Amino acid sequence: MFEQVKLAFANDGLEPVIDVATVETHYGKHHVAYTKAFNDLVEKAGLQDKSAEEILSNLDQVADETLKTGLRNQGGGYLNHNIYFEQLKPASEAKKAPEGALLAQIEKQFGSVDKLKEELNALAASQFGSGWGWLGKKADGTLVTYKTANQDNCYSLKLDSVPILTLDVWEHAYYLKYRNLRADYLKALWDLIDWSVAEARYNG
Ligand SMILES: [Fe+2]
């Protein structure tokens, strides 16, 4: 049984960057729905003994096209939101900058953390329609930035990458407060991103 990651904050804990109504809807409605739908499909497919990452990495083994599409969309919706919500903390609690191996790799590849943020924000802002911006780690330890459409991720697309950070650019993530200003949401979101979570993912 797949479960939503527990929030490290109350629904109003991300104010004013992310408003309480967005958390209530995003985590309390959208993510709940993805999780329920994914669990139903996993049961139907008899894949209860697999992790979400394993299921999404092996969709080609699901013969039924409707079931395959459902697992890809609902499973991605379930997992992507766990990755997203796990990395968010109230602005007063979030670790504002990376240290150690992750910082060294960012500086080596991007020049600085600010340059990485700029690149990721531009990438996520340019995603046409719904999707996600990602910072990932390849098997050789190097970092990679990319964007995905809908609920796709490195597992369903079979990319050489594990997630380090993700930026949700579905309208449901920002539209109640930021309306059409996706770039403003992305700029503000960094105040809530807890780099200790990114470090744990990078070092893990
Ligand atoms: Fe979302």
> Helix count (H) and strand count (E) of the chain?
9, 3
- 26 alpha carbon to ligand 1 midpoint, in Å? 6
User: In this predicted structure, what is the pLDDT of residue 97?
Assistant: 97
Q: 117 C-alpha vs ligand 1 centroid, how far in Å?
A: 20
108: CA distance to ligand 1 center in Å? 31
In the reported structure, the alpha carbon of residue 23 is separated from the centroid of ligand 1 by a whole-number distance in angstroms of 10
Q: Quick one: which H or E segment has residue 83?
A: helix 65-86
Say what the pLDDT of residue 180 is: 97
The per-residue pLDDT for range 117-162, each reduced to its tens digit, is 999 999 999 999 999 999 999 999 999 999 999 999 999 999 999 9
pLDDT at position 140 is 96
Q: 45-62: string of b/e by CB count within 10 Å (b at 16+)?
A: bebeeeebbebbbebeeb
Q: 192 near 88, Cβ under 8 Å?
A: yes
Give the model's confidence band at 3: pLDDT under 50 very low, under 70 low, under 90 confident, else very high.
Answer: very high
Instruction: Report pLDDT digits (tens) over 152-197.
Output: 999 999 999 999 999 999 999 999 999 999 999 999 999 999 999 9
Residue 174 alpha carbon to ligand 1 centre in Å: 9
In terms of CATH, what superfamily is 20-86? Fe,Mn superoxide dismutase (SOD) domain (1.10.287.990)
| Region 100-203: CATH code | 3.55.40.20
- Confidence band of 34 (pLDDT split at 50, 70, 90): very high
CA–centroid distance, residue 70 to ligand 1 (Å) = 17
Q: Report the 10 Å Cβ neighbour count for 95.
A: 14
- Judge if 20-86 and 100-203 fold alike in CATH terms: no
The pair of structure tokens assigned to 38 is 């994914």
| 81 Cα to the center of ligand 1, angstroms | 6
Task: List the domain boundaries for the chain.
Answer: 20-86, 100-203
Question: To the nearest whole number, what is the mean pLDDT of the chain?
Answer: 98
Q: What percent of the chain has pLDDT over 90?
A: 100
Determine the distance separating the centroid of ligand 1 and the alpha carbon of 133, expressed in angstroms. Answer: 12
Q: What pTM does this model have? A: 0.98
Ligand 1 centre to CA of 137 (Å) is 22
